[in-house]
Amino acid sequence: MAKTHATSKIRPHHLQQQRLSPFARLLQLMFGDWLSILLTLVSIGIVIALIPAFQWAVLDAHWQVASPAECREGGACWAFISAKLQFILFGLYPPEEQWRAMIVIGLILVLVLATLSPRMWGGRLLVLWALGIGAMLVLMNGGILGLAYVPTSKWGGLPVTLLLAVLSLGLAFPFAIVLALGRRGSLPVIRNVSIFIIEIVRGLPLVGLLFVAAILLPLFLPPDWTIDKLGRTLAALTVFAAAYLAEVIRGGLQGLPSGQIEASQALGIPYWKMVWHIVLPQAIQKVIPPLTNTAIVMVKNTALVLIVGVFDMLSAARSAATDPAWPGPSTEAYLFVAGIYFVICYGIAAYSRHLEAGINARNHS
């Protein structure tokens, strides 16, 4: 009876909405109440404020110029991006060998696309990633198979950004699982060591870790030991990501009911089989949003490597903007790099939403 009474109240309003013209419904949506009026006015103000930016970026922009001097007046100089695109994307990598860097970018995209489907998850995908990363490093470094050797000091641009993001997250994930399980374990020594590592790393800024890895670490190594700067930077990013991922995974482990673990132990299932087949899949499903957030943060954190002299995409754009032949197009360079970062991070977020929707649909089916 209560449901019938509620439906009889809602139906006239719904029918009234259907009788309104589209314009009347738009007016009601924009000015139907005080909150709608306020939001409409704020939106109009934002649009008006963006008009000069739109004029600068589109209407008055220089898309093609005969000489850099033509960019000294008017709007944005997107012709600068066209002229410096190769340098921003590949940095100091030798121009005649940049096809190898392009293949590396393509391999990363192919592997990421292959990873999107949950049907591919498993040992086969891990082998595929291992082979792909090995091929990428061979392509970038060269020195074998007739490829010219290119030292890591010449690596730069988008391949370095993608490799640092993918490798740091990929290498950090197993360490994060071990740290999370150790912190949740019952053995005091392992638990305290895990807590110590996680809290120490989380208590340090990433910039500090990068300086330690790039500058201080070589001072403590024997004289005949040398670790490449890019490798040390990757190690710092991996340690940093592992500590944060460990806390995210620990949150998922805490959300699991203890009955499943107790039932697995009662059935005599070995510990690692229980963790791999029962505990981790459920724990990771529970923490997809914070895992996504950590992945996005790590992608953006790769831009900090310019502080220790690694020539990533942001460093390349910053260096390109100092070309005296062009009239200071720093804004355009940074906007272009920001657009690439946005595409990467938005893609990660969209994939996360797709995964969540699939998991929710499966749980409610």
Q: Record the tokens describing residue 94, joined without a space.
A: 């030798």
Nearest Cα to 241, choosing from 276, 206, 195, 203? 206
DSSP 198-259: HHHHHTS-HHHHHHIIIIIHHHHS-TT----HHHHHHHHHHHHHHHHHHHHHHHHHHTS-HH
Q: What local confidence, expressed as pLDDT, does residue 319 receive?
A: 86
Q: What is the pLDDT of residues 256-297, one digit of tens each?
A: 887 877 887 788 888 888 888 888 888 888 888 888 888 899
Q: What is the pLDDT of residues 46-104, one digit of tens each?
A: 888 888 888 888 888 888 888 887 877 778 888 888 888 888 888 888 888 889 999 99
Q: What is the pLDDT of residues 140-169, one digit of tens each?
A: 988 888 889 998 888 888 888 899 998 999
| Residue 77, SS3 per DSSP | strand
pTM for this entry: 0.80
